[in-house]
Every structure is written in C-alpha cells, then in structure tokens.
Chain A
C-alpha cells in the first residue's frame, strides 16, 4: 500500500532512537571530560562527573521504561522488535561506559593534585579512539549502517595495543621503584576503564548488526 499505517508508533520508535543517541552523547562528553580532568588533576570536574553519572543512570532507566512500555502496548514485530531489544542492550552498554567516566573521576580524587607519574600520552589517545568509535557507532545506529557496524570494532585493536603499552610502562616503573605501586595502579585503572569502554562499543556494534540483520554475532578481537 506504500502508506504509513502506524504513524504514532513510528514516531515513538524515532524518539526512542533519539533518546539513545542523546544518552550516547552524554557518555562521550563525560569520558572526554574525565581524561581531560585527569590530565590536569581537576578535582572539581572529577567531583562533578561523579555526581552527573546519576543523570546518565536516570536517563538509561527512562529509556528502559520506554522500551518496556512499547513492548507491552505496541506489540512490536520483526525489525521494530529487534530495534527495541537492541536499545535495551545499547542503553545498558552506554550506562556502563558512563560508569567508566565516573570511575576515572574517582581515580582523580585518589591521585589528588600531585604530579602524575608520567606525562599522559597513551591514555588521552585511547580516549580519543574510544570516543570516536562510540560516536561512529551512534551514527551507525541512527543510519542502521551495517558496513560501519562491521568495521568500527576493528579499531578496538588499537586501543588494546595502547593499553598494553601503558601496562608495560607502568609495570616497568613499579619494578624500578616499588613505592610507586599505588600511583601506577591508579593510572592503570584509568587505562583499563578506557580499554573496557572500547570493548563495549564493540558490543554496541554487534547490536546494530542484530537490529539490521537479525543475526547474533560476536566480534573476536583476538
């Protein structure tokens, strides 16, 4: 027939997508700010990021409630059902990435205002790649772009390589001077958070592929 029969439901699905993208933007912003605050040992921003994670968590619950409402009231089928199922997963992944930003905020408070063990080079680079990956994944989700969803996870290798580099450097420092264990650990945690954030972007890409094709696939990054 070629005409839209369920315009209000379609509108609601679009709103759900938009809300998910907005949650994603909040998370990207938080992650970028967390690494910037780490670079400058900015305690005030760190405390704000910890506080603002509550807003991210709240938005995620709202999206989840919207998904449940649409499932209960609109009987979504096929692609619509997969989209809602994917949003449930993606919003959870986003919320967890938000937790990593909050985690870096806590690490900043633990480190305090003292000078960092080493200049931050690899960690900001990890953040840059992870947040670029996430932004591209959000675009792929909006455009249901299968090709992008398949290629974005390849960049996780770069993040992993940087994490391994940070890990090696910090372990070498600890071996040289064991009194640096705590301060090394803090930076390692921060790097680990970013490594995990990129992994979760990969999960998001898997969900985009599921939305478009209905196939459950898992990227093996090894």
Chain B
C-alpha cells in the first residue's frame, strides 16, 4: 500500500494485511507452532491462544477469482465465501492446522459444509452462536465455548486450564488496549495515521501471534505519538459495515479527500472497543459474556439495532465525524435492512450517511469514486 508512514513496524503490518501468511506467522510455523483459522469475530481467539496455538481470522486476501468454488455456490452467494473457499480449494490455506466455523451467516456456514465434505482436514469444528444476546443465550454460549475448549484441548493434546485462559485473556486485552490507543491518536485534528493504514494494522492483528503483534504495535505507537499527519482532508468519516479487510477500499475513499477516522466494523473498533472482564469468576463465562453481550454487536444479532446505532452515533461524536459511510457486501443477509434503519437514525441525529454495496474484492472503483465525491460535495466539502 502507498503510504507516507516511514515506520518499519507499519510496513510489516501493511505487508501482513496484503497476504495470508506473513513472515512472523511463517517463522511461528517454521518453529513448529500451529495455526487455527476461524471465521467471524464472535469466535473467541483467547481459547485458541490458551492452547498454545495462533488464531488466524479467515480472509480471502490475494484471491483472483472463484472458478474453483463457483460449482459449490450459486450466483446469489456473497462473494466472500466464494473467494475464500476458492482459496481453500487451491491450497492457499494449507498452512492451517485446524478450522473453527460458526453459524455467523448462512453463506459462511456453507463454507463449513463444503470444507468438511470435500477437503480433508484434521480438525474442523462448528460452533452454534445464539441469535439473541440475553442471559439465557450467554449460558448457552458458555456451554458452546466449554465444548470448543475441550475439543481444541483434546485434539492438540493440551490441557486448557483456567490459568492458561486468564493469561490469554490478559494478552488479548493488552492487544485491545494498544489498538484503542492507536484509535485515540485519530481523534487529533491531523491524525498521524489514515483509515486505510489503521485497517492494515487491525488486519495484521488477526494474523500474528499476539505477543509479537503487541510488541510491534507498541513500537508503532511510540513512533506516532506526538506526531501529526498532513491534514488537509475535506471531511472526517466513520465507516460502518461487515467484513472489510481490504485497506485499498478505504484508500479509494480517502483519495477523494474523506479521511476515515473511526469505524464500526468487525476488523475494526468492534474487535477492541470493550475488554473482557478480567475479574469475572471464570474465564469461559467471561468470554461468553464478552463476545455475545458486552462488545458492540453486528446485525446478525437480533434486538440490538438501537444499541448498534447508538454506538455509531457515539463514535461519530467522540471522533468528531462529519459523515458516515455504510458498506455492505452484496447478498449479505445480516446487513440487509440495517443500513436503511441506521440511515434513519443518523438522519435524526443530524449525521449524513452514504450507503455503499460492494464485492469482496474491491472493484467498480469509478462508481465508488463518484459516490464518495458526491457525498463529500453534499456536505459542502
């Protein structure tokens, strides 16, 4: 990615976001370390880390087509699973030692069905994520996580004790705190890091062992603290939506003059804005409580729209945003109605919103530019 940042740490994050296996992960593998892939940010990475494994959030970075996977899907399936499963079939995910799937949405769920049936894999698990976020559902999810913990422990031959889990929780909370510090810097009038660059840092965090990631992130924070970016942008924007792991998409927006200063996405602030309660009675129920209830939710969860809208409005105020861009993968059932409702809520709060549909691989840049430029112009910028 084109960048003005001279930082070596950032360069590593940026490279990690542009590929599946980054050098840090490769070293981990070379030293005999194992990697477990997972779909959807509602899978607790902490359980994987506690087993001495490195969690890897599934993406389809570097995919060039869906020729292999199209036979397994239809033309009305979301482009993310089609690209991702294509890479599964072409062997790009051979570096994984296991997979954890979740019924996050029907499109992604079908990756599990196809993967299990057609691609020999030693460890592939499906978790059941509740639709609601109340205490009953937390109870259910606690049981799901306990089962996942046992299965991971058994397969990889590790006893995942509470101590190990608490250690993982603390490590991951540290990641969250550091990432949040990075976001804090973006509140400045001239943020030292762009939205595209920040997304690269966030994506890298889902593809490296957390100790090494935290170390590099501390380095980046030291370099950026007390510095200013070039400024001169026409507007400050928040981006809200689902799976968005491609910094190049945000770069197109920022090249039109709209600086993305914060977000509500599942590769962004929703991963880390809130922490897991380190003082809870047991780690598994603390994780269930966090992943299901405490953290800002995604529209997959029922009955939570008002909280989600409020989160976006609060973030806008906190980061002094002029407008909101809502992005949605075409055929995404979870985000179907959300953007329309959110647009109404934002209108009432006096915040303009631009809604964009997109494909998983950034394309149709001409129309994207026109929309973003026109949006900035409607704001008088």
Do A and B bind? no
List residues of A whose CB falls within 8 A of some B CB. Answer: none
